Amino acid sequence: MEIVPAIDLIDGKCVRLSQGDYGRRKVYSDSPLEVAKSFEAAGIRRLHLVDLDGAKAQHIVHHRILEQITSHTSLIVDFGGGLKTDEDLRIAFESGAQMVTGGSIAVKSPEAFENWIRTYGPERIILGADVSEGKIAVSGWTERSELDLWSFLENYVQKGINKVICTDISRDGMLRGPALELYTQILAKYPELHLIASGGVSSLKDLDDLKAAGLPAAILGKAIYEGRIQLKDLSKYLC
């Protein structure tokens, strides 16, 4: 199973939110680059980098930090947050992102998102499916749409998407375990999907449970920052 640590950015700092609430943030480092280097030193190859300021501003903000990380590490970075236009996407890729994650745009501007899939291919475009009470949340999780998860997934699987990051917002940053039942249901319906679990991972047992359920990848953040999971203990999951 692929381990994908997350770095969430506000004011250029590495932070974590609880349940997506910008008012419930905790700063863990003033240097996202040093955090990324620590992941690389532990043998990790992937990074999920989220521009929370960009998500609020509706355009890319922290592309310089993205560029710093991709220039000074060998991490494969997927970048999300605030990608709303072709220009945002161009900046993200030129700043070194190898993949991007689109959530809000996939809801609010589906034609534009579908064009990204056609232009760049499903290997570089990840669908962000952020779920709150069965509905897709957008704009940095500050809004809940009326679109249900299953319709959302079905539409984009038919459009060629094969990578999905699915976050149960109620679990994100809460260290109460991942949405294992939900992920099992998704994989039962879409067994070929590269489904990336996100939210709630609190222990190595959670990772073991996700792996046993067939999840090909998992994002973790707060469990690392709070010392619940040590980077040295992740070696058994790394390819």
Distance CA 64, CA 95 (A): 7
What pLDDT score was predicted for residue 24?
A: 85
Domain locations in the chain?
A: 2-234
> Which runs of consecutive H residues, i.e. helices, occur in the chain?
32-41, 52-57, 63-72, 86-94, 104-108, 110-120, 149-158, 180-189, 204-212, 222-225
Which of the 8 DSSP states describes residue 112? H
Give pTM, 2 decimals.
Answer: 0.93
What pLDDT score was predicted for residue 140?
A: 65
Distance CA 58, CA 105 (A): 10
Residue tagged active-site, from 8, 88, 168, 206: 8
Q: Which fold has domain 2-234?
A: TIM Barrel (3.20.20)
Alpha carbon distances (Å) from 224 to 81, 200, 201: 21, 12, 10
Active-site residue flag, 8: yes
Residue indicated by tokens 């669908």: 127
Residue indicated by tokens 């957008």: 138
Collect the ranges in the chain with pLDDT lower than 70: 140-142, 239
What pLDDT score was predicted for residue 19?
A: 76
What pLDDT score was predicted for residue 193?
A: 97
- Provide the β-strand partners of residue 223: none
pLDDT in tens, 167-190: 988 887 778 899 999 999 999 999
What pLDDT score was predicted for residue 40?
A: 97
Distance CA 79, CA 61 (A): 12
What pLDDT score was predicted for residue 53?
A: 94
Closest CA to 115 of 81, 147, 83: 83
Residue tagged active-site, from 78, 88, 130, 209: 130
CB-side neighbour CA atoms (13 Å) of 135: 10
Active-site residue flag, 78: no
